[in-house]
Structure formats: C-alpha cells, structure tokens
A and B are shown apart, each in its own frame.
Chain A
C-alpha cells in the first residue's frame, strides 16, 4: 500500500485522452453496458475492475471498435479520442486500431518468427522506409516490451516457441511497434504465472511514461499495484471511478466496498 501513496502523488491534472459519454452496448437483446461515462487520462494507467460478466471487457473493446467484428453488437453514445468521435462514419476502424493498440487475455503470437511478429504492424502501416529502419523499430519495440535481452539472439525463432510470459511481452512489443497512443490490455496476466505477471506489471508501469494504458483485471491487487485510476463495473454499470487509492481505501459506493472486501463477486 506504500506503493499507492507514491502513485497518488504521481497523478496530477493531465490531458483527457478518451472521453466516453452515455455509452450503451447491446448484444442482440441484452443490454451489456448501461450509460457509462468515463474519462481516461493521458500517460496514466486506468484499471477496470469488477466481477465476471460485468461488462468491463466489452467496454474496453468499444474503445478500439473491436466489437465491430461481432455482428450482433451495437454501440450507442459517444466515445471521443482526443475530442474526435471514434464511432463517426469518417473514422476508419482499421486506422483507429493502429492508434489504440490492444493486448489480449491469452498471449496470441502469430505463427511467424519473433521478428515478423513485431514487424507485422509497422509493415502493414508502412512505418519503415527500409530494412534498417524496420530493424530499428523491432529492436526498440522489443526493448520497450522488456524482452529484447531474452530474444535478441533468436529473432528468427518462431514466436510460438517462447514461454507464456515471454509470449505476452512479445505481444505487448508487437502492439507497441505500431506507435499507438493508447494501449488496451484485456486481463493480460490471467494466463501467466506470478513471476511473468510481475514482469508484465513492471512493464506496464514503464509504458505509462509514453502511453495511456487501460487494463482490465480480475486481480484487485494488480489494479492497486499498477493503476492510478480505477473504474469499478457492476452488472453493466460504471459504479465508481476515481483515484486508485481512493477506490481501495475509501470507496464511496457500498457496492464497491462490498466487492473489494470480497462480499460480492
């Protein structure tokens, strides 16, 4: 908990990166997200917590329009990225996803070499003019993913051959390689052991200096460790949103208190 006081001090007024107003999400007839308003700050780690099925992952996937790939999903309300509505017709979801990167629950490296995994995004978006530049991007991204030292001698080895924790850091490096502005993480540590989890958490803290990070997690300790802001979702509602220290030590809503003390879940 010492950590949290330090984190609290680190939060001062920062620019709003993503603002969601009155967001509603429907899966067919099911009303999955009800009237969510949230402001995600730049260069901050924001954690979404809540019991399973509360809609936190669904909401996260709204932020880069990954829900577009699900036929029956409908999103209403405004989500503004730097003041621009991402659900506007003029916005290309493909371009948006390059700006708002995503790391998934299960490490999902492509069945390609480590190098090609990281180079995938830059190649698609034409970020490198030549091979040397691409090499540079790959190295920089792998360093930011805190995995460079482990893989620098075997960039040609398949990414699927790494351990679970390494794979997840590779996926983070892969997401970082497209130079996103926001990084969404959907339970990035739930498939990892405690050591790999610690490494990824450390990495998330470093990423904060450059990106706005949104992380969905089931582990309240993790939310407390890595985030500055925490949002608590329950049954599709955003129950409480505020400073992480505030949420965990002095929650305003009785439901939040029940959840973090383990009475509901």
Chain B
C-alpha cells in the first residue's frame, strides 16, 4: 500500500469524523444548535483533528526514523572483510540499498517470485542476470554479504512499513473514537479546537527555529573536524591563505576577512548616502504620484538576482572602471590592471544595497509622527531644518539598524564577489587590486572534486560558521540599537 493511499485513508477518516462529530453533537442537543456550547462545526473539527493530527505525527516520525534504524541494523550485519579496499561502509550500504530496490523491482515486474527474492542461498550469478534482464540498475558485482544484507534490508523495510500503516490507522481510529465519544452538547469543542490550532502554529514556529539550530550544529561539528586537522591558531591568527590540496596548506581567515570587510565598507559608502537621500526625498518631498512610481521602481532593484548584478559588474562596471583608471585609461593613471577589483565588487554591491537601505529608512522616516513635523514647522523652521533637526534624529536609531542589516547582507553576499572581486587573498589597501572574500573562498573550496576528510575542504565550514557568527552578531547588535533607542513618541 503506497503512502498516498494511507494519506487518503486518513483524510477519509477526518471527513467522516467531521460529519459524525457534528451530527452527534446536534443529536445530543436535540437538533437545536443553540443548546450547544460551540458551533456544530467545531465538534466536527474536533473529531477530524483528533483523528488526523496524532496519526500524521506518528507517520512523519516513523518515516524519518525507520530508514535510520534499518540502515544502522543492516550496516552492522556486514562483516568487515566484506568491505573492499578503498571503500567504506557508506558505499557498501548504498549498494545494499540498490540491490534491495532491484529485488523489489524484479518482484513487482514478476521476474522474481517473492520466495526467490528472499532466498539467501540463491545463485548469485543467476540472480544478477535476472535483475539485469528485468531492467534493474546494478553497478557492482553482487557479493554474498551484500545479497544477504539487501534481503535483510528489504524484509525489515517492508515489515516496518506494514507495521507503520497498521499503527497509523489504529491511532487515527482511536483518536476519532475518543473525540467522538467525548462529543456532547456540554463539551467545549471550540476551546479544544483553538488549543489544537495554537499547537499547530507553535509547531510551525519551532520548525523554523529548530532548522536554524540544525544548520548551526551541522556547521559546528564539521568545524570541529576541521580544527582537529588544522591548528586553530593558524586559522584565526595566521596571515596567509594558501590552500594546497597536497597538504601543508596555510588556511588563515584574516586575509579573507580583510577582503570581505573592505568590499563591504565600499558597498556601504555607496549604498548608505544614496539610499538614505533617496529615502528622505521619497518620504519627505516627493508628491504622492512620484512616490507611487519611484518606490516600486527602487524596490525592483531588490528583486534582481545577485548573479545578474555579478554579470553587470563583470561586463559593465569592471571594464568601465578599467577604462577610467587602467593603463591608457581616461585618467591616464594606470592604477587598475584587471576589471576584477575590490572597487568593482564594492560599487556593484553598493547598488544592490541601495533599495535595502532606502526602503527600510523610508518606512522608518514615515513612522515619525506628523505631530513632530508640525511642532517644528509651527516654530518657524523650514522644511529642510525640520527634516535635518527633528525627523532624522527621531529616525536615527532605525536608520542605524537598517545600515547594520545592510552591512550584514554585504558581508554575506556571494555571487557579486565571486564574479567581480577576484581570487587573490591578501592584505592591501589598494581598491584597484583584486582581493577575495570569505564567501568566495567557501565556494571555491567546495566546488569540483572534494574530499570531505581534508582540511582544505573542511575549512569551508569553519569559514561559514565564522561568517554566520559575524552576521548574527551584527544583526543582534542592530536589533539591540533599534530597540534601545526607539523613541517613545507618546
């Protein structure tokens, strides 16, 4: 029985339960809905939810847990000598799963009988041929231990699945019966249903949070692995970034951090004045018509994929800068050798951040109450004096928060710097040189053939975690500032 059938059965229980609960409630009140504690539909929902939710919960947990349990049991069965040189248990296990799927497929098409598929003493060559003939995918030679493991895998999985289906259906039935029996005109179905909805909302919120925790933990353990292979002193306090896949790499975050911060600062120098001035114009001076056109246009900038910004940097801004500052350029200074430079990446990233800064600042400036402006105008201040001395100071905490949020986006930005910043890790103050950032290095360390046991690959996780901590810190600081200095206008 496929999973979709199981879900359909559960759904059918819920629908039947809804109508049964509803009519039982009405019957208990003698057909007069006014005598019920709650509206009749609440009694229906109560039965439906009580049938559905616990059953679905068990289903989800089972689906997650069963493969893990089966895997670890079967993996334990494979003797060490059965694992060939150069392979590990994980590889064998995927082979086991493949064979198991093959057996299941062969049984389904009728190429094998159930007894043949489960026969541990079957002739391996013959079985392989049968599987191949029936169109199943096999990569390696099937060996005896693999066959045995695959058969065990298959039987455990099918037993588990049958058990799961039985248990889920029983739980759903019990849930429905329990709620149905409780249904009575005095029963507070409305409150119970609302509790249930609350629980669902809580679940959604906790999934979001737990996922974040999971991401952090997975990064954290990989980072621990990295620090077992590589000295943390070199990572945090070294001065050179020189990964070498033959070993003996120097992997220090500092040159990358320098590049990241340098590019982010240039980006903010571009984005903050332009974004802020745009926000002031839009919120204080623009007429309604201008505003209704200009604001969505600015926000379109925020919707452009960063890869497009990267192309823009690579094809337009970089060459334009070279033609200005490069050898034989318009200024004749010859400072810039290639279009990949800190300045290119910074400028384009700044453009990307403009809508971010302007949109947030615009909302914050609009939130300054009109009474502040009236008070200032009423004292004989001009419009610009009012903006400068009353509106902006009142909005400042929010604006600082917006800038910090923009900074954390700049630090975490990847595509633009991958395409425009270059790949050379170094400390340099020259904005016309190529430099590289943390995100760029994470990409390059993890692309291509990677071996997840070498420090050169694992360093990506350490870099990622450090980046995460930096941006998290910035975000927390931004929220703290916004909260602390939020003006109480009342």
Contacts and interface: CB of A to CB of B under 8 A. Distances in A.
A249 interface: no
B135 interface: no
B379 interface: yes
A97 B379 contact: yes
B299 interface: no
Given A106-B371, A121-B379, A121-B381, 14 more contacts: A66-B377, A69-B373, A71-B287, A96-B380, A97-B379, A98-B379, A103-B378, A108-B369, A108-B372, A108-B374, A110-B375, A111-B372, A124-B379, A160-B489
A142 to B, nearest CB: 15
A112 interface: yes
B389 interface: yes
B382 A120 contact: no
Contacts of B489: 108, 111, 160
B390 interface: yes
Given A111-B393, A124-B385, A160-B488, A94 B380 contact: yes
Interface residues of A, number: 29
Contact of A110 (B372, B377, B488): B372
Contacts of A104: 371, 374-375, 378
A56 interface: no
Nearest to B488: A160
Contact of A95 (B287, B377, B380, B487): B380
Contacts of B130: none
B454 interface: no
B383 to A, nearest CB: 9
Interface of A: 64, 66, 69, 71, 94-99, 101-104, 106, 108-112, 120-121, 124-125, 160, 171, 174-175, 178
B380 A110 contact: no
B251 interface: no
Most interface-central of A69, A111, A174, A178 (chain B CB within 10 A): A111
A101 B487 contact: no
A121 B390 CA distance: 12
Contact of B371 (A71, A97, A108, A174): A108
Nearest to A120: B379
Nearest to B368: A111
B375 A124 contact: no
Contacts of A112: 393
B379 A178 contact: yes
State the 3 A-B residue pairs at the shortest beta-carbon distance, nearest first: A98-B380, A102-B378, A108-B371
A66 B380 contact: no
B377 A69 contact: yes
B289 to A, nearest CB: 11
B409 to A, nearest CB: 28
Most interface-central of A103, A110, A171 (chain B CB within 10 A): A110
Contacts of B377: 66, 69, 97
Contacts of B376: 110, 120
Contacts of B379: 97-98, 101-102, 120-121, 124, 174-175, 178
Contacts of B393: 110-112
Contacts of B345: none
Contacts of B371: 104, 106, 108
A124 B378 contact: no
A101 B381 CA distance: 11
Interface SS of chain B: helix
A113 to B, nearest CB: 11
Given A110-B394, A160-B487, A121 B380 contact: yes
8 contacts: A66-B374, A104-B371, A104-B375, A108-B369, A108-B371, A108-B489, A110-B390, A124-B381
A120 B394 CA distance: 14
Interface in B379-409: 379-382, 385, 389-390, 393-394
Contacts of B378: 64, 66, 97, 101-104, 175
Contacts of A103: 378
A263 B285 CA distance: 45
Contacts of B488: 160
A101 B379 CA distance: 6
A174 B390 CA distance: 14
A64 B394 CA distance: 25
Contacts of B389: 120, 124
Interface string B286-315: 010000000000000000000000000000
Most interface-central of B374, B378, B380, B393 (chain A CB within 10 A): B378
Nearest to A167: B490
A108 B380 contact: no
A210 to B, nearest CB: 17
B451 to A, nearest CB: 58
Interface string B447-477: 0000000000000000000000000000000
Contacts of B385: 124
Contacts of B375: 104, 108-110, 171, 174
A180 to B, nearest CB: 9
B75 to A, nearest CB: 65
Contacts of B382: 94
Interface in B346-381: 369, 371-381
Contacts of A171: 375
Nearest to B288: A71
Contacts of B390: 110, 120
Contacts of A174: 375, 379
Contacts of A175: 378-379
A257 B445 CA distance: 88
Nearest to B486: A111
A262 to B, nearest CB: 31
Contacts of B394: 110-111
A83 to B, nearest CB: 21
A162 B329 CA distance: 62
Nearest to B485: A111
Contacts of A95: 380
Contact of B380 (A71, A109, A111, A124): A124
A40 B376 CA distance: 25
A102 B373 CA distance: 12
A111 B377 CA distance: 15
Nearest to A95: B380
A174 B374 CA distance: 13
B97 to A, nearest CB: 65
Interface in B222-254: none
Nearest to B382: A94
A186 to B, nearest CB: 10
